[in-house]
Amino acid sequence: MKRLDSYVLQSFIGPFLASFSTTLVVLVIQFLSRYQEDILGKGFSAGVLAELFFYASASLMLLALPMGLLMAGLMTMGNLGERLELTALQSAGVPFSRVLAPLLYFGVLAMLFSAALSWYLIPRANLRLYTLLYDMERAKPALALKPGFFNRWIEGYAIRIGRVQKDQKTIEDVLIYAYHPDGSVARTITAPLGEFFVDKTWLFLTLRLYAGCQYETYQESQRPPTWVQACFDTMTLRLDISGLGLRRSDEKLFAGHQYMLDIQALRKAIDSLRHLRDQTYDEYYANLLRWLPVPWGGPSDTTSPQPTQALRIQAENLLRRDKSLMEYYRERLRQLDETVWRYELEWHYKFAIPLAAVIFLLLGATLGGVIRKGGLGVPLVFSTAFFIVFYILNAQGKKLAREGILSPFVGAYLPLFVIGPIVVYLILLVTTEARWLYLDYWKKKWRRGI
């Protein structure tokens, strides 16, 4: 039987690596496409882009793993069935569960590996990924002097050049506007010829202009602004461009988000949030009781004296103040509930996604044992269909759980609740082959009943 286990695993590893890596690349490209406006056109180095791709791959590895196991299991068992090897094994008395055993062991190892990733490594990757994306979003466009356009990437200046010569340093027909903080034009500089240099530390842009003129405005009290013209042979401008580079933020700024916490820190955060929510509810109910007593008798109490105008005004002011306080507490409690739901949802995902690895492997293997079609076409169709269902249910479960429509537990396990019964049915179908599992059996039973 060791030969059988080795043969099944050898048939499984190749399709698994191919499908897993392909799915991971597709997911990473789809994820980064949402941030293309923050990434493209800013002159980031290849090292920064490689770092971004690496962290995104680590973050999305958990989502690609079920797809890889599903397709590999389907291809492996489909190929065994198509080549009649599965039929030969069953004819020799080897049950399907024994053929499935090495894949099941591999699935358990994959589940433990994905659990370790989800609990400890993925939060660190998420922290660095989203910190880097935040820094990329804040970064200004790369330094580029485009002829014929006003370049406004340097704060307080608008620079237009007519043409850049072949040496990529000499510029012609230069027009520069310098602005006051309020947006008004402080001075205008024109020159027919010039040069520009960028220092090695990427901190300053040096513009050396020749045979040009400068126009400045002067504003005196109770007098209209005046323009003063000054021409020059050579003028040197040093403009600060340090803000154009990628400035790294402190990762501690994002360390408290639910995506960035490992399983122990997430459990502590949930307990703290629940305690804070309970305290807020106690304060809310304590203030709510202040609405119940009335400073004078009710309508049916004919012996009680009628309140004076001063008492009415005082009561109305108290009620108005308490009403604003109640509205504050209701909004505060709504925010706390949504925060607790998000953190609890992430907690359940740390168990649901690793469990999905085993379920999808069983789904692919049993489905391959039923359809018995190998190759790439049929497994790809079925795998893509089930993964799309999983992806949609995963997104909808997360959305409904965050809105409080579903509990965080149900929202996290919603894809497994839908796909799990299908897996159970397929396992029974390939292991027992009972007649009641087939649709024809119930059709005949229905006709006999008629």
Q: 170: part of which helix (H) or strand (E)?
A: strand 170-179
Q: Is residue 271 part of a domain?
A: yes
CA 251, 255, 257, 260 dihedral sign is positive
The amino acid that residue 196 corresponds to is: F
Q: Determine, yes or no, domain membership for 273.
A: yes
CB 269 within 8 A of CB 339: no
354 and 418 part of one domain:
yes
Residue 254 maps to a domain: no
Give the pLDDT of residue 441. 65
Does some domain include residue 251? Answer: no
pLDDT (tens, 9 = 90+) of the chain, 450 residues, equals: 588 888 888 888 988 998 899 889 988 888 888 877 767 756 677 788 888 888 888 888 888 898 889 888 888 888 888 888 877 887 787 887 888 888 888 989 999 998 988 888 888 888 888 888 877 776 655 455 678 778 776 778 888 888 888 776 888 898 988 888 877 788 899 999 988 877 655 567 788 899 889 888 766 666 666 778 888 889 888 877 665 555 666 667 777 778 888 888 888 988 988 888 888 888 877 776 665 544 444 444 444 444 455 555 655 665 566 667 777 778 888 888 888 888 999 899 899 989 999 999 988 888 888 887 777 777 788 888 888 898 899 889 988 988 888 889 999 999 999 998 988 888 888 877 666 666 666 777 677 765
Concatenating the DSSP letter of every residue in 34-53 gives: TTHHHHTTS---HHHHHHHH
Same domain for 322 and 236: no
Whether 84 and 201 map to the same domain: the answer is no
Q: How far is CA 418 from the centre of its chain?
A: 24
Contact between 80 and 364 (Cβ < 8 Å): no
* 230 shares its domain with 331: no
Q: How high is the pLDDT of residue 413?
A: 92
Do 227 and 207 share a domain, yes or no?
yes
* Residue 405 DSSP class: S
pLDDT value, residue 299: 46
Domain match, 331 and 414 both: no
Q: What is the CATH number of the domain that holds 202?
A: 2.30.30
Range of the domain at 311: 263-294+307-343
In-domain check, residue 252: no
Q: Exposed (0-12), middle (13-18) or buried (19+): which is 10, by Cβ within 10 Å?
A: exposed
Same domain, 191 and 107: no
Domain tally, the chain: 3
Q: Which of 73, 60, 63 is nearest to 105 (CA)?
A: 73
pLDDT at 165: 81
pTM above 0.75, yes or no: no
Q: How far apart are CA 247 and CA 329, in angstroms?
A: 39
Strand residues in 219-330 grouped as ranges (E): 226-240
